[in-house]
Amino acid sequence: MNALEVLGLRKNYPGFRLEDVSFTLPSGCILGLIGENGAGKSTVIRLILDAIRRDGGEVRVLGKDNRDNFKATKEDIGVVLDEAYFPEGLNVRQVGAVLRRIYRNWDDAQFSSLIRRFSLPENRAFKDFSRGMKMKLSIAAALAHQAKLLVLDEATSGLDPIARDEIVELFHDFTRDETHSILISSHIVSDLEKLCDYIAFLHKGRLLVCEEKDRLLERYGFLRCDRQTLARLSPAAVHGVRDGEFGVEALVEREKAPSSVQLDPVGIEDIIVFLAKEAGRQ
């Protein structure tokens, strides 16, 4: 059973359209949903959670349609949104008390342990928390009810590098259990590159790529050359060009480039930047 299956997902807003987004998150894996601000990442997540109505497509979460008794399925989903939306007057104890009565599998000991680990004050009102503290509370709540799937929308944004590293480690620990999976959206590519097995790149409402991270990194290479050299390559091999310091820089598909062309390794960030440029040209 896949943790998440999204097929042909569509949503229309005035001025924005999410078009035929399809991807699968296998059980036990981590899928990173990357995209620029306004690409539609949060929209995809809200559609998966059935918080907004879709205009087309299907969503299956933990093997079940998200319109079919989704309340029961949500017991197994831990969610961290782009901001923590707890009532501002509540404190950590009260948040725990509320969630204990909402989740069947709520684990008080786990919640308390995470609160201590994150050094969150138990009696301070939520409105007095910093952004980082709010996100940590949200993460603690998501991890404290034996979830099988974590859905994280910009969960590491607003955290300092030390906290981000700690959180990424927590997410790694979460997926040591083969039945646990994570969908994480972010525009901080470095976090996703460390964490993810799969990368899905969303650009202006369209999914440009969805592939295993390692295969993506093997599939493309980075070419620095002059324009004459680039012109000799098949257009099908070149995915995005920009002017470089001594010529041009291009993202090239290794399989379609001649073996004589020397390609450098390329990171995920460069891949998505070039793919976005190519998409903008088309």
Partner 1 sequence: MKGLLLKDWFVLWKQCKWMLFLVILYTLLPLVSDGAGTFLACFSVLFMAILPITVLGFDERSKWERYAAALPVSRDDLVLSKYLLALLGMIGAALLYLLSSLVLSAVRPGSVSPQETVSFLCLLFAGALAFDAVNFPIIFRLGVEKGRLWFFLIAALFGGAIGAASAVAGDAAVSLGQALLGVPVWAFPLAALAVFGLSAWLSCRLYARRDL
Q: Does 81 bind partner 1 (CB under 8 A)?
A: yes
Regarding 57 and contact with partner 1 (CB under 8 A), the answer is: no
DSSP assignment of 151-170, as one string? EEESTTTT--HHHHHHHHHH
Which span sits near partner 1 by CB under 8 A: 58-66, 79-87, 108-116, 231-239?
79-87
Q: Which residues contact 238 (CB under 8 A, 6 or more apart)?
A: 230, 250, 251, 252, 253
Give the binding range for partner 1 (CB under 8 A) out of 27-35, 58-66, 88-96, 264-272: 88-96
| 68 in contact with partner 1 (CB under 8 A) | no
> How is 118-133 classified by DSSP, letter by letter?
TT--SSS-GGGS-HHH
Q: How far is the CB of 174 from partner 1 (least distance, A)?
A: 17
The least distance separating partner 1 from the CB of residue 67, rounded to whole angstroms, comes to 11
Query: Tokens at residue 50, please?
Result: 């059935």
Q: Which uninterrupted H or E stretch holds 205?
A: none
79 binds partner 1 (CB under 8 A): yes
Nearer to partner 1, 129 or 220 (CB): 129
Least gap, CB of 126 to partner 1 (angstroms):
8
Is residue 125 a contact residue for partner 1 (CB under 8 A)? yes
Contact 102, 95 (CB under 8 A): no
Choose between 76 and 249: whose C-beta lies nearer to partner 1. 76
263 binds partner 1, rule: CB under 8 A: no
Binding region for partner 1 (CB under 8 A) out of 50-58, 226-234, 239-247, 267-275: 50-58
Chain centroid, CA 263 distance in Å: 28
- 231 contacts partner 1 (rule: CB under 8 A): no
Site for partner 1 in 151-170 (CB under 8 A): 151
C-alpha triplet 160, 32, 162: angle, nearest 5°: 15
**From candidates 101, 176, 235, 258, binder to partner 1 by CB under 8 A:** 101
At its nearest, how many Å lie between partner 1 and the CB of residue 128? 12
Angstrom distance (rounded) from CA 237 to CA 144:
47
> For residue 206, how many C-alpha atoms fall within 13 Å in the half-sphere facing its CB?
7
* CA dihedral of 134, 38, 5, 100, whole degrees rounded to 10: 20
Residues that bind partner 1 (CB under 8 A): 46, 49-53, 71-75, 77, 79, 81, 83-90, 94, 97-104, 125, 151
